[in-house]
Homo-oligomer: A and B are copies of this chain.
Amino acid sequence: MTAIETRNAHTVEVGYDEFCGALAARDLKSLWSMQTALMPDVPLPATQPWLWPWDTTYPLAKRAGEIIRIERGGDRRVLAFANPGLNGLPFTSTTLWGAIQYLGPGETAPAHRHSPSAIRFVMVGSGVYTTVDGDACEMEAGDLILTPNWNWHDHNNYGSEPMVWFDGLDLPLMTTLEAVFFENHPDERQSVIGHNLSERAWGSAGLAPANATDLNPAHSPLLRYGYAHVDERLEALHDRDGGQQATVEYVNPATGGPVFSTLGCAMTRLYPGDRTPTRRKTGSSVYVAFRGSGKSVINGTQFDWGAGDVFVTPSWAAVDHVAYGQADLFIISDAPVLKALNIYREIVEAEAQPVNSVFQAT
């Protein structure tokens, strides 16, 4: 028998091709022919670093507002940020869904519930409330609203202007886990029990209602996080610590953990100065530039951003930021998942990464 060379340097013997054919016919795959792709030295993300500029997405969202009606069967007017690395899937990363949602004056996005959990971060507009299991959460620019796993929710614009918000969901992960359930509410709008109820019950730091019955290990009982509080905390942290960057995490006040088991939120405020240290972490993040402008280097490519832009960082990407003035970046990530599974890693590189190219949006 004569030895032959395979692509990945294995010494195999005659009959190999026939053998491979037998495997293929029986739903078997040989590991040795693809070990490097399956087990790279460091993560080899399918997710690509990418940016969607507000100048593009906002006009398209407005246009959708003109030509798409919201109704049962297609309950939401949503444009998803589809990562070009994911083979046409409408996902921003392998675990995170990012999208822009547009709700015109007088419109209602009808009530439903699903096992994927969602956050809504208001980009522009006011005069909207999202009802979550009876609690009408008022939405203003910069506010974060949670619509957790299996909570009924509908969105209602009672104002005179459209609202645009960023939707962040764990849907790609839930799809991989094959754990997506969905149900329409019998009514277009569920009954409103009261306004900002969760905030009224849980809205002071370190004070919890006794014998709370609204606790669920999967998510925060607080559903509304007003921007004014975030702004105040960021300023206080910057006053205390100085530096170029201050960050608050949105947490579950009943546990101190992330807002959802499956998705975390943070706001980082950048102050003018040098590039921040280059960091790498496992898991992906989606950034929404809420205020200000700056640039981020992701794996050697520079991404320039301004208010309303959305960008994504893949797992283990080298990432640093610099702001031209004070800037706020709202961030969702899958870090709670990696941390819950004890597989999270994070490092700070000793040196700033080189900048090799500048991203040009499509």
Q: Which residues of A contact B (CB under 8 A)?
A: 8-16, 19, 22-23, 25-36, 38-47, 50, 52, 56-57, 60, 63-64, 66-69, 71, 73-84, 90, 93-95, 99, 114-116, 149, 171, 173-183, 194, 197, 199-211, 216-218, 220, 222, 225, 229-230, 232-233, 236-237, 239-240, 247-256, 259, 261-262, 266, 268, 282-284, 314-316, 334, 337-338, 340-343, 345, 361-362
Task: State which of B216, B218, B253 has its C-beta within 8 Å of the C-beta of A206.
Answer: B253
The reply to whether B206 and A362 form a contact with Cβ atoms under 8 Å apart is no
Which residue of chain B is the closest to A179 with respect to CB atoms?
Answer: B282
Question: In the docked arrangement, what's the CA distance between A90 and B84, Å?
Answer: 23
The reply to whether A240 and B178 form a contact with Cβ atoms under 8 Å apart is no
The reply to whether B23 and A60 form a contact with Cβ atoms under 8 Å apart is yes
Which of A199, A209, A259, A283 has most chain B Cβ within 10 Å? A209
Question: In the docked arrangement, what's the CA distance between A203 and B234, Å?
Answer: 11
The reply to whether B180 and A35 form a contact with Cβ atoms under 8 Å apart is no
User: A27-B82, A80-B31 are contacts. A209–B181 as well, Cβ < 8 Å?
Assistant: no
The reply to whether A67 and B15 form a contact with Cβ atoms under 8 Å apart is yes
Chain B residues with CB under 8 A of A32: 68, 74-78
Which residue of chain B is the closest to A239 with respect to CB atoms?
Answer: B200
Chain B residues with CB under 8 A of A47: 178
Chain B residues with CB under 8 A of A200: 233, 236-237, 239-240
Question: In the docked arrangement, what's the CA distance between A237 and B210, Å?
Answer: 10
Question: In the docked arrangement, what's the CA distance between A69 and B341, Å?
Answer: 35
Copies in the complex: 4
Question: In the docked arrangement, what's the CA distance between A74 and B6, Å?
Answer: 11
How far in angstroms is the closest Cβ of chain B from A299? 13
Question: In the docked arrangement, what's the CA distance between A149 and B344, Å?
Answer: 12
How far in angstroms is the closest Cβ of chain B from A97? 9
The reply to whether A256 and B208 form a contact with Cβ atoms under 8 Å apart is yes
Chain B residues with CB under 8 A of A30: 64, 68, 78-80
Chain B residues with CB under 8 A of A11: 69, 71
User: A32-B76, A116-B39 are contacts. A210–B249 as well, Cβ < 8 Å?
Assistant: yes
User: A39-B116, A40-B180, A60-B28 are contacts. A343–B203 as well, Cβ < 8 Å?
Assistant: no
The reply to whether A315 and B178 form a contact with Cβ atoms under 8 Å apart is yes
Chain B residues with CB under 8 A of A225: 206-207
Task: State which of B28, B40, B43 has its C-beta within 8 Å of the C-beta of A52.
Answer: B28
User: A206-B253, A343-B174 are contacts. A28–B81 as well, Cβ < 8 Å?
Assistant: yes
Closest 3 CB pairs of A and B: A178-B315, A32-B74, A29-B90
Chain B residues with CB under 8 A of A174: 343
User: A19-B63, A240-B197, A247-B210 are contacts. A44–B180 as well, Cβ < 8 Å?
Assistant: yes
Task: State which of B28, B71, B84, B240 has its C-beta within 8 Å of the C-beta of A201.
Answer: B240
Chain B residues with CB under 8 A of A14: 67
The reply to whether A218 and B341 form a contact with Cβ atoms under 8 Å apart is yes
Task: State which of B149, B178, B206 has its C-beta within 8 Å of the C-beta of A316.
Answer: B178
How far in angstroms is the closest Cβ of chain B from A202? 6
Question: In the docked arrangement, what's the CA distance between A230 and B209, Å?
Answer: 10
Question: In the docked arrangement, what's the CA distance between A200 and B71, Å?
Answer: 45
Which residue of chain B is the closest to A70 with respect to CB atoms?
Answer: B32
The reply to whether A68 and B27 form a contact with Cβ atoms under 8 Å apart is no
Chain B residues with CB under 8 A of A95: 176-177
Chain B residues with CB under 8 A of A209: 233, 237, 247-249
Chain B residues with CB under 8 A of A78: 30-32
